[in-house]
C-alpha cells in the first residue's frame, strides 16, 4: 500500500534535526502532518515534541511507524549509515514506503542507495534544498527533486510543506546535480560581490552604498540582497556553514570531473573555502568567503 492509499493519516518521519532539519520538521508540523522525529543528539527533539511531534528512541522505531521519511544529514556517509547501517532505516521500513533525502550528497551514491531500497520495495526521492535556515523555518525552501514522477506526485503535499518552490528535475540523482549547479552559481556570485566590495573600499567607497546602487541594476541577486548584507554587517552567525559549502563544492567538482566539465571558477572558490576553513572559520556562515577576499586585498574590516 502506498502512502497515499492509507485510510489513516500518514505518519511522516524526520531524521536529522540540525539547523535545517529542525526547521523543516517544524514546517511539516505546522502544515498539519503527523510527524515522528529522531536525532542522534536527543536534546534536539524536545522543542519539536512541544510543537506536537512524537520522538522515536531509534531509527528502526521511527522507520517501523512511518510511511514517508525525510532525511537531513551532513554527508554521503551519514546517509548511508542511517539507511543501511546496523538498526538502519532500510530494514525497518515497510514495502511501499518512501525516503525523501534533503541532504546534499553524491549523485552516484544517491542512485545506488535508491537501487538498494528498491530491492526492498521502498522508493526514494532526492530533494536537496536551497534557502538556508530562514527558508527551512518558514517553509519557503526551494526543493530540487529527483526520482520517479509518480512517487514525486504522491509526496508533493509533504514537499510543499517545506518548500514554496518544488521542482521535479528528473530521475533519481538529478536533484543532487541541480543542487551542485546551484552551489556553483551562488558561490560564483558571492566571490564577485566580495571582489566588488574590496575594490570599492580601496577607492574609499562604502560597500553599503555599492550594494544599494547595484540592487537597482543587472547585478541584483539574492546573494547581493542577503549574503552581501552579512558581509557588510559582519554577521557571520551560520545560516549555512562555510565547511558545508566547501563539502558541496567538492561534490560539484567531482561531478564535473566525472563528466569532463571545465570548472575553473568553482575550483578557485573551493580553494578559497579551504582557506576559510583552514583559518578556523569553517563554522561561520559561508559568506565569510568575503572575509578572506578582504584579507587578501589588505582591506580593513569595516562597513
Q: What is the DSSP string of 219-273?
A: T--HIIIIIHHHHHHT----SSBHHHHHHHHHHHHHHHHHTT---HHHHHHHHHH
Number of domains into which the chain is organized: 2
Whether residue 1 is predicted with pLDDT greater than 70 in this model: the reply is: no
What would you report as the CA-atom Rg of the chain, rounded to the nearest whole angstrom? Answer: 20
Query: 69, exposed or middle or buried, with CB in 10 Å at 0-12, 13-18, 19+?
Result: buried
How would residue 2 be classed by pLDDT, with cut points 50, 70 and 90? very low
Asked if residue 167 and residue 182 are part of one domain, the reply reads no
Q: What is the mean pLDDT of residues 115-143?
A: 96
Residues 91 and 200 in one domain: no
Q: Convert 1-17 into a string of H (helix), E (strand) and C (coil).
A: CCHHHCCCCCEEEEECC
- Read off the pLDDT band of 300 (50, 70, 90): low
Is the pLDDT reported for residue 8 higher than 60? no
Does residue 136 lie in a domain region? yes
Position 268 in a domain: yes
For the cut 60, the answer to whether the pLDDT of residue 158 exceeds it is: yes
Which residues are part of the catalytic machinery? 179
Does 303 fall in a domain? no
Q: Are residues 38 and 185 in the same domain?
A: no
Indicate the residue among 133, 152, 171 that finishes a domain. 171
Residue 123 has pLDDT above 50, yes or no: yes
Same domain for 37 and 152, yes or no, is yes
Over 60: is that where the pLDDT of 303 sits? no
219 is written with which cell numbers?
547585478
Q: At 138, give phi and psi (nearest 5°).
A: -105, 5
pLDDT of residue 9: 81
- If asked whether residues 198 and 128 sit together in one domain, one would say no
Q: Of 68, 57, 50, 64, give the one whose Cα is nearest residue 14.
A: 68
Q: Which three cell numbers stand for residue 205?
A: 567607497
Shared domain check, 143 and 33? yes
| CATH label of the domain that carries residue 246 | 1.10.1040.10
**Domain closes at, from 148, 171, 194:** 171
pLDDT of 14 over the 80 cut? yes
- For 152, the domain range is 3-171
Indicate if 221 and 143 belong to the same structural domain: no
DSSP state of 96: T
Please tell me whether residues 89 and 53 are part of one structural domain.
yes
pLDDT digits (tens, 9 = 90+) for 54-69: 999 999 999 999 999 9
Rounded Cα distance, 97 and 166, in Å: 21
Cell matching residue 227: 549574503
Examine the fold and report which residue of 114, 149, 171 is the final residue of a domain before the chain moves on. 171
Q: Using CA atoms, how far apart are residues 165 and 174, in angstroms rounded to an integer?
A: 16
Pair (242, 106) in one structural domain: no
Mean pLDDT of all residues in 177-205: 97
| pLDDT score for 7 | 42
CATH label of the domain that carries residue 86: 3.40.50.720
* Whether 260 and 166 share a structural domain: no
> pTM to 2 decimals?
0.91
CA 155 – CA 167 distance, rounded (Å)? 12
Amino acid at each position: 500500500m502506498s502512502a497515499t492509499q492509507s485510510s489513516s493519516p500518514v505518519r511522516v518521519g524526520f531524521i536529522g534535526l540540525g539547523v535545517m532539519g529542525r526547521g523543516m520538521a517544524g514546517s511539516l508540523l505546522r502544515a498539519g502532518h503527523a510527524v515522528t522525529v529522531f536525532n542522534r543528539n536527543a536534546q534536539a527533539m524536545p522543542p519539536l515534541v512541544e510543537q506536537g511531534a512524537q520522538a522515536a528512541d531509534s531509527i528502526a522505531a521511527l522507520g517501523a511507524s512511518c510511511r514517508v521519511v525525510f532525511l537531513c544529514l551532513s554527508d554521503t556517509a551519514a546517509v548511508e549509515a542511517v539507511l543501511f547501517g546496523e538498526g538502519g532505516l532500510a530494514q525497518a521500513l515497510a514495502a511501499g514506503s518512501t525516503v525523501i533525502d534533503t541532504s546534499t550528497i553524491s549523485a552516484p551514491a544517491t542512485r545506488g542507495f535508491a537501487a538498494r531500497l528498491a530491492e526492498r520495495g521502498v522508493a526514494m526521492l532526492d530533494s536537496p534544498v536551497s534557502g538556508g535556515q530562514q527558508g527551512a523555518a518558514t517553509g519557503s525552501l526551494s526543493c530540487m527533486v529527483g526520482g520517479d514522477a509518480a512517487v514525486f506526485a504522491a509526496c508533493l503535499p509533504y514537499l510543499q510543506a517545506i518548500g514554496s518552490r518544488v521542482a521535479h528535475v528528473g530521475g533519481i540523482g538529478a536533484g543532487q546535480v541541480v543542487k551542485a549547479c546551484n552551489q556553483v552559481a551562488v558561490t560564483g556570485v558571492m566571490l564577485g560581490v566580495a571582489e566588488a566590495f574590496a575594490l570599492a573600499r580601496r577607492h574609499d567607497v562604502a560597500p553599503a552604498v555599492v550594494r544599494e546602487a547595484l540592487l537597482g541594476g543587472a547585478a541584483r541577486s539574492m546573494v547581493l540582497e542577503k549574503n552581501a548584507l552579512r558581509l557588510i554587517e559582519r554577521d557571520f552567525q551560520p545560516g549555512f556553514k562555510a565547511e558545508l559549502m566547501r563539502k558541496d563544492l567538492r561534490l560539484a567538482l567531482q561531478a564535473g570531473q566525472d563528466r569532463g566539465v571545465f570548472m575553473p571558477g568553482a575550483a578557485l572558490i573551493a580553494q578559497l573555502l579551504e582557506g576559510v576553513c583552514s583559518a578556523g572559520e569553517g563554522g561561520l556562515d559561508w559568506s565569510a568567503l568575503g572575509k578572506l577576499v578582504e584579507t587578501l586585498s589588505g582591506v580593513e574590516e569595516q562597513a
